[in-house]
Structure 1
């Protein structure tokens, strides 16, 4: 139903103001060889680094795919730290601590190996090394892919599957209430039409509508789902999520050009630009503060993703599409008036495009379209608290005594969003949704009159945000 396009290389790293770029290729062996070639003095640390990533991934895969019956736990529970040694050894370690152990205060090798740290967090000082090893190792193992035609193609394919199985998908509708029966189980939702995602209700939609089903998937942040529940059930629902730190928000700048960026030195699909003021790897945490003021001499780091490197199906003749993206903070924008917000955003658009031209001289003159989204945009369109793009922060320790789950305290309500059990982001949200479906099917078989295929047809997948 969808066509996946392999990304030609993992990424490249460019120090702002410099001319050379360091390329991180796809594949375990290729990445290791490139790192050893660029940083031969760190041979021991590099070999250990890739050994750790590989070991953690293997342990996690064996653990996740094990048939964990009661007898499995009785047999393996007491020896889990020995059976899955790498997984437990790095559970309480942060990425900063891991890199400090491997490379000391040598910062260039850290930037090279983990230039894409912003895919996961804005704070390597807190990000779980275990989560990082799983995610980063996945890129080295299987590479990156782009869905031809854009992510809308994936949504369209999922809608087709829903309709083929007798369901329907309603767009531009927001759930306002999750309905419960007398026993506290979900029974349906109340929803209304919106003019625009994140905006006011359509006045022509006079009455809210209701839909009924015994199972509901919530595709929103827990705090949003909480507000939809009856007051007396909100505290129990939120208890597992209280106090969990949020992931960062992102800013994005969409760029349309009338010349191929390759002509101006853009050689890779994803180029991470590290600003001059970023001296240490831990300085990554300061990128989001750049937008706290008007543009000046301090620029944030960002990734420039050149989609013209792929046959995306969206590039028209003589038009080339790319995106600049980096870490943002809702506090940079939320207290501004509408006029001040758009003025500040416009000033930063200009500054970022000027910096792009500085990194790739001549490219700026060929930008024919640009539009910027901020943390405030993420907050409005994703309907996430503080614009959190990746759900909850994946901080150390990653394995907890009470691990997160897609099941909730409300019978029949399952969390299927970036805030679910598998971490945040695009892939995390999909994994969370898949896990929610498995748990819902199991729950339905145990608690609903119908079983098997019949029970699965009673499930309602209802959008909680749009």
Structure 2
């Protein structure tokens, strides 16, 4: 065993965007902070990589960067805004269904009119739905990520919509306002950003995600998402933080129910507190260990529903693409039942393989940022989900050639599906890269390659999600597992909230909004 060091105020496991935000805020406030990252670059899922001349991203749009919006305030406070240029996107989504295409504009009034034009008989319900969504957004921003008992008792009066819809799925909320099943499905079409469809997802989470774009705009970091993660890492180091890459944590050291440091491969590093940006189940069941947990708490962690993963084909192509396809992400559904059918198939460890029936998301990075590639070339991400970790019980094969054959076969079907939107796409491919749940597991250590940590069900949302302050003294959580859930907007805020707890309220005093 190498020398044991005892010098850090805080150690953060994982440099996902929540960990980077938390670490940078702690370092800015004078805490001697160490971030440990298993990968060779920071960012977690907020990353980019290159193949030949093409840059590929893992995420597609960030909300909340308009002047005065929460993320803009955080970036300005940290200094990230001085290191990254952001490109504004006027459409968060394009929803494509049989005979109906809806542009989801960040301008909420423009989006409402788009819906009313297609569903005039639902005009009253559309106005009521969006009024409710805007009220929910205001209440979330006025609420507390960690309320005291007295604050919690005021929720019924101060936050009536949060209380009313606290246990509701998005489907249950939609049923209050609409009759047309097509419109209900369309309004839930952004579910891919959070991992569950209407009957399964927390209505507050999905509506909150939409509002992060409607209230704060949709944005793309010029040059790709790795630019954003590198900017955070630079700010962190400028404030005196220490970032170690290619460094995997084996154990969180526990003494008398207190986290006192971490164990690496042959090295122990001690700290006043440990913050895990790692996956929930990895954190408690592997890094802390069941032997260091209360039995009931360990069982509760085991029973948490894990989020889904996805299957993604990244393409570099030489062809012209229409600018009309530019948005955060296109969601293409050949049937109104596509999402529900996908989840039923996933429950059997299957995916849709008929190209005519495959629902997919499509993000064309080079329409957002043309400077990513030479003129005449484009970068595309084609996504389908959920992708079962045990797809046909065949992903995890000892024979790598069989695994590669299986994913190539599925990739060809997904490309064929995308040709419904971009004819002859397959004839213009220069570079192809494929990601499966095993890919995401390998690079992030996320349980079963899950994209969103624990699933965004009503039972696992907001104050019912895993709290940032854990039952293990000195151990804190940040990232998608906490209060606001997954997504860029939520994960950045999670870093703020966790840092605020450790700094004893110096940042937000337990409230949602950053005050400075």
User: Does 1:273 find its partner at 2:335?
Assistant: no
Q: State the secondary structure of the residue aligned to 2:390.
A: helix
Tell me which residue corresponds to 2:455.
Answer: 393
Q: Do the aligned residues in 2 keep the contact of 1:90 with 1:130 (CA within 8 Å)?
A: yes
**1:48, CA displacement in angstroms?**
1.5
**1:118, CA displacement in angstroms?**
1.4
Consecutive unaligned residues in structure 1, runs of 5 or more? 193-207, 445-466
**1:116, CA displacement in angstroms?**
1.3
**1:138, CA displacement in angstroms?**
1.7
Within 1, Cα distance between the matches of 2:250 and 2:107?
Answer: 46
Q: Do the aligned residues in 1 keep the contact of 2:382 with 2:415 (CA within 8 Å)?
A: no
Bigger mean CA offset, 316-325 vs 86-95: 316-325
Within 2, Cα distance between the matches of 1:240 and 1:434?
Answer: 26
User: Does 1:217 find its partner at 2:292?
Assistant: no
How many equivalent pairs are there? 418
Within 2, Cα distance between the matches of 1:165 and 1:54?
Answer: 37
Q: Do the aligned residues in 2 keep the contact of 1:131 with 1:394 (CA within 8 Å)?
A: yes
Tell me which residue corresponds to 1:461.
Answer: none
TM-score w.r.t. structure 2 length? 0.74
Does the C-alpha gap of structure 1 residues 294 and 61 become closer, same or farther in structure 2, counting only changes over 3 Å? closer
Q: State the secondary structure of the residue aligned to 1:112.
A: helix
Within 1, Cα distance between the matches of 2:461 and 2:305?
Answer: 15
Tell me which residue corresponds to 2:106.
Answer: 26
Q: Do the aligned residues in 1 keep the contact of 2:462 with 2:485 (CA within 8 Å)?
A: no
Q: Among 226, 230, 234, which residue is 1:152 paired with?
A: 226
**1:180, CA displacement in angstroms?**
3.2
User: Does 1:317 find its partner at 2:397?
Assistant: no
Q: State the secondary structure of the residue aligned to 2:442.
A: helix
Q: State the secondary structure of the residue aligned to 2:493.
A: helix
Residue pairs, 1:97-108, within 5 angstroms:
97-104=172-179, 106-108=180-182
Q: State the secondary structure of the residue aligned to 1:419.
A: coil
User: Does 1:189 find its partner at 2:189?
Assistant: no
Residue pairs, 1:229-308, within 5 angstroms:
229=288, 232-235=291-294, 238=298, 241-262=301-322, 266=325, 268-276=327-335, 278-279=336-337, 282-283=340-341, 285-286=343-344, 288=346, 292=350, 295-296=353-354, 299-308=357-366
**1:390, CA displacement in angstroms?**
0.6
Does the C-alpha gap of structure 1 residues 281 and 98 become closer, same or farther in structure 2, counting only changes over 3 Å? farther
Query: Greater RCO between the two (CA within 8 Å, min separation 6)?
Result: 2
Q: Deviations over 1:261-289 (max 9, x none)?
A: 218x735452211024x437644534747
TM-score w.r.t. structure 1 length? 0.81
Q: State the secondary structure of the residue aligned to 1:31.
A: helix
Within 2, Cα distance between the matches of 1:252 and 1:280?
Answer: 18
Bigger mean CA offset, 228-237 vs 20-29: 228-237
Q: State the secondary structure of the residue aligned to 1:59.
A: helix
Bigger mean CA offset, 138-147 vs 106-115: 106-115
Q: Deviations over 1:224-244 (max 9, x none)?
A: 123223653134664653422
Consecutive unaligned residues in structure 2, runs of 5 or more? 1-82, 507-516
Within 2, Cα distance between the matches of 1:397 and 1:46?
Answer: 27
CA RMSD of aligned residues (A): 2.9
